[in-house]
């Protein structure tokens, strides 16, 4: 099995890359792809950068160049539910793009033109494995819809809108873009988001600290998926 692992920030990928052996680095379109062995799996890891365009660029390149069997997007995000607090893990049953809106043309909010879907489902078998690992590690987790957009959500009003419109459990800036590229390429995927903030502006000043701690949680699950 070959895993493709995509992170938005270096902090999210360092622990994973540190566990790899037989590594080889290749730069494509300004993104460095690290390939090698990760536990019992072949793997390729990349830091895509922040936002949906960077995430899509990285995912498409990874699929074409390295042909992973599964793509995992790991990182941090803001909670949209009282079932997830700081350090807990959101696991994608599906992903949506909350800032996709062609509703003036008569489309539902969030519908992606061309493929005409709103929610893109994650791979059920990978979701089950992630949840089992969380149970074994004692990581509080919750599975549902993760909502992505090119915005750092920091207002109660916007947070409530995403929940009421998409029933989102967490928000971030890359996962649904990764999901869309995987969806059109027919590559199974799962999105993991360790909760780093409340998504309502209440703890923005603490984000770097929370993000560093939350990234360790998501990285530990990825390492366990690889048998480490």
- Range in 72-76, 81-85, 211-215 with the lowest mean pLDDT: 211-215
The pLDDT value given to residue 82: 92
d(CA 137, CA 5): 21
Q: In Å, how far from its chain's centre is CA 85? A: 17
Domain residue extents for the chain: 2-225
Residues 168, 153 contacting (CB under 8 angstroms): no
CATH architecture of 2-225: 3-Layer(aba) Sandwich (3.40)
The pLDDT value given to residue 24: 97
**Position 206 confidence tier, pLDDT thresholds 50, 70, 90:** low
Residues 198, 88 contacting (CB under 8 angstroms): no
Residues 192, 130 contacting (CB under 8 angstroms): yes
pTM over 0.85: yes
**pLDDT tens-place string over residues 124-162:** 999 999 999 999 999 999 999 999 999 988 888 999 999
**Position 55 confidence tier, pLDDT thresholds 50, 70, 90:** very high
Q: Enumerate the β-bridge partners of residue 79.
A: 170
Find the farthest-apart pair of alpha carbons in the chain and give their distance in angstroms, rounded: 52
Q: Mention every residue, 6+ apart, whose C-beta is less than 8 A from residue 27.
A: 33
% of the chain at pLDDT higher than 70: 96
List the catalytic residues: 12, 197
The pLDDT value given to residue 120: 98
d(CA 30, CA 52): 16
- Range in 78-82, 132-136, 163-167, 177-181 with the lowest mean pLDDT: 78-82
**pLDDT tens-place string over residues 110-122:** 999 999 999 999 9
The pLDDT value given to residue 199: 61
């Amino acid at each position: 099995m070959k895993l493709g692992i995509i992170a938005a920030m270096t902090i999210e990928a360092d622990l994973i890359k540190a566990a790899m052996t037989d590594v080889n680095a290749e730069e494509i379109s300004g993104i460095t792809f690290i390939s090698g062995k990760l536990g019992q799996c072949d793997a390729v890891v990349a830091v895509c950068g922040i936002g949906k365009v960077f995430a899509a660029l990285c995912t498409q390149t990874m699929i074409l160049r390295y042909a992973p069997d599964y793509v995992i997007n790991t990182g941090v995000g803001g909670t949209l539910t009282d079932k997830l607090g700081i350090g807990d893990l959101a696991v994608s049953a599906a992903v949506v793009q909350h800032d996709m809106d062609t509703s003036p043309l008569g489309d539902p909010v969030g519908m992606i033109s061309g493929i005409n879907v709103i929610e893109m489902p994650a791979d059920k078998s990978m979701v089950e494995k992630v949840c089992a690992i969380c149970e074994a590690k004692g990581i509080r987790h919750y599975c549902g819809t993760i909502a992505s957009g090119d915005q750092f959500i920091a207002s109660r009003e916007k947070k409530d809108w995403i929940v009421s419109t998409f029933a989102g459990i967490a928000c971030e800036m890359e996962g649904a873009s990764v999901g869309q590229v995987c969806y059109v390429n027919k590559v199974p995927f799962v999105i993991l988001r360790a909760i780093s903030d409340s998504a309502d502006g209440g703890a923005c000043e603490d984000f770097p600290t929370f993000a560093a701690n939350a990234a360790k949680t998501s990285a530990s699950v990825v390492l366990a998926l690889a048998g480490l």
